[in-house]
Amino acid sequence: MRHKSIVFFLIGFVFLMASACDKAEQQTQQAPPPPEVSVYETRAEDVPIYKIFVGQTYGAKDIAIRARVEGFLKGIHFREGSAVKAGDLLYIIESQPFEAEVASKQGLLAEANTMLVKAKRDLERYRPLAEQKAVSQSDLDGAVASYEAAQASVEAAQANVRAAEIQMGYTRIYSPINGIIGKTEAKVGDFVGRDPNPVILNMVSNTDSVLVEFFLTETQYLGIARHIAKVGIEAAKEEDREADIRLILADGKMYPHKGEPNFLDRKIDPTTGAILVQVSFPNPQNIIRPGQFAKVRVRVDNVEDGILIPQRSVSDLQGRKRVFVVDDQNTVRERPVTLGPTIDNFWLVTEGLEPGEKIIYEGLQKVGDGTEVKPALTEVERIIQDDE
């Protein structure tokens, strides 16, 4: 009886072991589920290519206010940083020395007029006498010469008076344009008009429009020059009018008005190898002031049917750029790609991808070539980048 119990126990143990092995084998044979990944579907679109340059702003007119005569500054007739109009009185320099000079020149003019009157009367007296042969011809010629010399003396004296009055006029300094005036470089009581004291008293800037200056490298200039030679000057001017030139301000915000190129320097600076470019921007709200630093974003090309992919979808293996493409069977295939410039948070693909293909966006660390995945389409937001 005891022998039968041992047999039954051994048989049950064998069945239990076999069942456990079957379960372990089933668990071993059961494959893990495919990893979930986010994929981005490529599409063809027109891709504008931009170049960013660092520039500085200037007023449409930046006029220096100068002291054209020497003297002590007597009066300042504006508020610093305010708007002024053409013809507004800005400064007064003491005028007494110039008034005295005008009076002196007027005295000489009066003296010259007196001499002219005397010479004219002498000539009027000599002419009838000469006709009657009562005086010699030489006496008449002398009277004519004296009269003409007196006339010349009057004209010279008049010119001297005008010059003295002009000099006196320089003691009152007026704004030459409408604009915004800056901080005065001299105070009342300063002697101005001669170094080391300020000759330039102030600046007035017209900011209804502003100019932004930046530099092109010689290579960039040659590219533009060859393009103009290819399409012609008139076509290039039309492209300039349609150019997408924008200004990125110091706070990173895009200025709402487009710019228009209006100047290219005559020469390349041999010390820097760059050429100066000037672009005009309207400034109706006077947001931009002279002296600001800003970035000029210029559209330099437009790629038709270009393909953009998120930068994070690209991996780098020893300098070789690659992406992971998910095919129709949800199998991952490694694909080398050739990349162009970065466009915001995307890469422009020049070779290696076609529109409508799906590339892995999130989950790159889970996959390799030949991996089966569970893809989920995702949209990637375009984030404007200000820097190159």
**Which domain CATH number covers 350?**
2.40.420.20
| CB contact at 8 A, 380 and 61 | no
The answer on 129 and 102 residing in a single domain is: yes
Residues 298 and 217 in one domain: yes
The verdict on 222 and 290 lying in the same domain is yes
Same domain, 275 and 338: no
Domain boundary among 302, 321, 341: 302
Same domain, 78 and 145: no
* Tens digit of each residue's pLDDT (9 = 90 or more) over 141-193: 888 898 899 999 999 999 999 999 999 999 999 999 999 999 999 999 999 98
Only one residue has tokens 């020149």, namely 105
Q: Report yes or no: 352 and 317 within 8 Å, Cβ to Cβ.
A: no
SS3 of residue 55 by DSSP: strand
Q: Is-contact 324 332, C-beta < 8 A? A: yes
Q: Which domain holds residue 370?
A: 36-47+303-377
Q: Are the C-beta atoms of residues 95 and 168 closer than 8 Å to each other?
A: yes
Compute CA 58 distance to the chain's CA centroid, rounded to the nearest angstrom: 9
Q: What is the pTM of this model?
A: 0.70
Residue 251 — left, alpha, or beta (φ > 0 → left; ψ -120 to 50 → alpha)? alpha
Number of domains in the chain: 4
Q: What residue ranges in the chain does DSSP mark as E strands? A: 36-41, 44-66, 71-76, 83-84, 89-93, 172-174, 179-181, 191-192, 200-217, 245-248, 260-264, 274-282, 293-310, 315-317, 320-326, 332-336, 338-343, 346-351, 358-362, 374-377
Examine the domain organization and report whether 103 and 127 are in the same domain.
Answer: yes
Q: Please state whether the peptide bond connecting residue 196 to the residue before it is cis, i.e. omega within 30 degrees of 0.
A: yes
Provide the token pair at 387. Answer: 């820097």
Q: What is the pLDDT of residues 288-331, one digit of tens each?
A: 999 999 999 988 778 889 999 999 999 988 889 999 999 999 99
Q: Which residue's structure tokens are 């010469």?
A: 145
pLDDT top residue among 138 and 145: 145
**Cβ-based burial of 239 (10 A; exposed 0-12, middle 13-18, buried ≥19):** middle
Higher pLDDT, 234 or 350: 350
Are 223 and 297 in a shared domain? yes
Amino acid 8: pLDDT: 47
Pair 164, 190 in one domain: no
In this predicted structure, what is the pLDDT of residue 378? 92
Same domain, 229 and 349: no
Distance CA 171, CA 163 (A): 13
Which pLDDT does position 72 carry in this prediction?
95
